[in-house]
Amino acid sequence: MTRPCVREQLFILAERDGALLGLVQLVPDESAMLIENLAIHPDLQGMGLGGELLRRAEEMARSQERHTMRLYTNSRFLENIAFYARRGYTETARRELLPGSIAVFMAKQL
């Protein structure tokens, strides 16, 4: 069986005057939307832009009739885990993906 090497990906960008301020990268599947990446310019972190991009990602998922948001992050990134938890994401699993690197899987029902 042949599988595509590149998955369909969606991007929501935040920019001002042509400068990229942040982005969220999404990968849809049958019923869920995976947050592949959420990145904010370091000078703008903590100002609400990440929360706004996350909200827009959830709106996009709903508009495409996907009922779950999923993501994973490194267990060492405690601030990331807290950020998502404050927005209704709950931990669903922990797994070692690479030696010494534990991934925290989280999800939110929309």
Q: Mind spelling out the 3-state secondary structure of 45-97?
A: CCCCHHHHHHHHHHHHHHHCCCCEEEEEEECCCHHHHHHHHHCCCEEEEEEEE
What's the confidence (pLDDT) of residue 32?
A: 95
What's the confidence (pLDDT) of residue 4?
A: 55
Residue ranges for the chain with pLDDT beneath 50: 1-2, 5
In whole angstroms, what is the distance from residue 1 CA to residue 26 CA? 25
What's the confidence (pLDDT) of residue 47?
A: 94
What's the confidence (pLDDT) of residue 63?
A: 95
What's the confidence (pLDDT) of residue 106?
A: 98
What's the confidence (pLDDT) of residue 5?
A: 47
In whole angstroms, what is the distance from residue 50 CA to residue 47 CA? 8
Q: Could you tell me the pTM of the whole model?
A: 0.88
CB burial of residue 36 (10 Å; 0-12, 13-18, 19+): middle
What's the confidence (pLDDT) of residue 1?
A: 47
SS3 44: helix
Residues 6+ apart with CB under 8 A from 7: 27
The domain ranges of the chain are: 10-109
CATH class of 10-109: alpha beta
